Amino acid sequence: MGIIENLVGLIFGDASRRTIEVFRENAEKSAERQHERHTAALGQFSTEFIHARRDRFGSFIDGLNRLPRPLMAFGVLALFSSAMADPIWFAARMQGLALVPEPLWWLLGVVISFYFGARHQAKGQAFQKSLLDNMALVPSVSENINILEDLRRQNANMQKDDLEDNRALSFATGPNAAIEDWKKLQKRDK
């Protein structure tokens, strides 16, 4: 591709490159821009999380930000336990929840969705990246499987050859009385 690109550049000049880039993105420059964005994002995270000075208030707020998920999980487990331990008490609390107006339930759903939505999106993107990484391994895995199949075939052929050699050895060691009797029976039946 380099020779063709240089030849076209020599004939048509820089205009051909700009015209082609209208229809197809320059992969090298795209990779450079992506690297610059990634480096800038890492720099921002570094400034925010590593170099930022932590005071007591910041540490307290970080601790509060980490509480909702475990508190909700433990709360649900506590509700299940209370339903088994004291069903009447549990039923009374659920009757209280039945009186909560529907718009308030919608508001709670929105708050929880926003809170967990960002985490879900980040985890989903990480999952997709791991899928792409695994898909990149498919050619090498396929090649390894082919190598293993060849080894299995070679092993089967070697075992077959060994079995034939063992048969030849067993007949070569001397007469077998059972086989001799069988042969006599075969001749007599004919």
pTM of the model: 0.34
Q: pLDDT higher for 116 or 90?
A: 90
In the chain, what percentage of residues exceed pLDDT 70? Answer: 79
Q: Are 83 and 90 in contact (CB under 8 A)?
A: yes
- Where are the chain's structural domains? 1-52, 137-167
Task: Give the pLDDT mean for 102-112.
Answer: 88
Q: Report the 3 state secondary structure along 106-174.
A: HHHHHHHHHHHHHHHHHHHHHHHHHHHHHHHCHHHHHHHHHHHHHHHHHHHHHHHHHHHHHHHHHHHCC
pLDDT higher than 80, residue 90:
yes
pLDDT higher than 80, residue 60:
yes
